[in-house]
Amino acid sequence: MVKTVEAIDLVKQFDGLTAVDKVNMSVEKGELFGLLGPNGAGKTTTIKMLITLLKPTSGKALVAGFDVLTEADEVRRRIGYVPQESALDVRLTAAENLELFAELYGLPKSEIKPRINEVLELVDLDKRKNDLVAHYSGGMKRRLEISRGLLPTPQVLFLDEPTLGLDPQSRRVVWEFIHKLQKDWDLTILTTTHYLDEAEREMDRVAIIDKGTIMAMGRPEDLKTEFGKDVVELVIKSTDGGDSGEQLKSKLLSLELGTDLSVSDRKVRLGVPNGKTALPLIMHKIESVGLGVESISVRSPSLDDVFIKYTGRGIREDEGAQDSEDTKKQRAMMMARMRRRV
């Protein structure tokens, strides 16, 4: 297969802090590839190096066959980028927003209107192109943002948290359009997300990244198969003067109930072969040390279990959802520049 994106020992440091640590990965032509990790894991920093917005401290990266350091202009001509933060001016129509960005991309004037019509039709917004963006729903705004990334006819589309903050229905609609683009354009798409359900359901392959390091990479189904165990989840009954989380975990570890054991408050998760068969023995061992079980269940492993196996913790979907003050200032400055051109 043709590698459209390739990172080799990619490193990025800020004032001595390593944000991305020797990342190695490749994305094949026509593939939908996801960087999966919590906020601060290094996802956006990796993306920004691949699209030439940040220079790597060391290592190498190729996009569409061109080096991001020595051939940055060639890379930029072949990519589209949709950041987390919206750059839409809600006081303009969809067509007016895209016209401004088309000019920034340097599209010839004769091609701008036909191109805008084409990308709006792709994301099913052509009938609303003359409506003010202020009247768009969250999902419609995100589809408009994606259409903006398609203006330069990219070979590779980079999407940074494309469904962040959207309701479940809007998230599904956005993913439907992303898959349509992937299929109709044979488009290579590299996206970041911290929504585990999306990564599991929507992506061809994922790389789990945490603290700047790739922990695991592969097809979601393969990663879950490699987990190799059923997942038992149980809730320990609370008692007067009960154990702390660490004390409870230490006590449960001594019982050798299974592997990949994690404890959050009184909620316990562990991996065991043949989970249903193992339940009676697990109950007996727990009760033998004076603990009670409030509820217990067994299920097949999910990508969340794989993530916890490699990182030792889960992803909190609500962390880091708000824009930083710097991001807000940058967005306001961009909006001001755009309005002056209207």
Residues 94 and 23 in one domain: yes
Query: Within this chain, do residues 100 and 249 fall inside the same structural domain, yes or no?
Result: no
Last residue of a domain, one of 198, 223, 248: 223
Whether residue 22 sits in one domain with residue 140: yes
Same domain, 64 and 180: yes
| Judgement on whether residues 270 and 181 belong to the same structural domain of the protein | no
Both 15 and 150 in a single domain?
Answer: yes
Residue 331 confidence (pLDDT): 45
pLDDT of res. 311: 85
In this prediction, residue 318 carries a pLDDT of: 39
Of 203, 223, 243, the domain-final residue: 223
Whether residues 152 and 195 fall in one domain: yes
- Structural domain for 205, as ranges: 3-223
Among the three residues 178, 194, 223, which one is the final residue of a domain in this structure?
Answer: 223
SS (H, E, C) the chain: CCEEEEEEEEEEEECCEEEEEEEEEEEECCCEEEEECCCCCCHHHHHHHHCCCCCCCEEEEEECCEECCCCHHHHHCCEEEECCCCCCCCCCEHHHHHHHHHHHHCCCHHHHHHHHHHHHHHCCCHHHCCCEHHHCCHHHHHHHHHHHHHCCCCCEEEEECCCCCCCHHHHHHHHHHHHHHHHHHCCEEEEEECCHHHHHHHCCEEEEEECCEEEEEECHHHHHHHHCCEEEEEEECCCCCCCCHHHHHHHHHHCCCCEEEEEECCEEEEEECCHHHHHHHHHHHHHHCCCCEEEEEEECCCHHHHHHHHHCCCCCCCCCCCCCHHHHHHHHHHHHHHHHCC
CATH number of the domain that residue 188 is part of = 3.40.50.300
Q: What CATH number corresponds to the domain at position 250?
A: 3.30.70.100
pLDDT of residue 185: 87
The verdict on 217 and 245 lying in the same domain is no
Domain count, the chain: 2
Q: Do residue 250 and residue 216 come from a single domain?
A: no
Quote the pLDDT of residue 308. Answer: 86
| Residue-level pLDDT at 239 | 65
Mean pLDDT split into 10-residue runs, the chain, 342 residues: 92 94 96 93 95 97 97 95 91 96 92 95 93 95 93 94 89 91 92 92 96 95 89 84 73 88 87 89 90 91 89 60 42 48 43
Q: Could you tell me if residue 91 is inside a domain?
A: yes
342 domain-assigned:
no
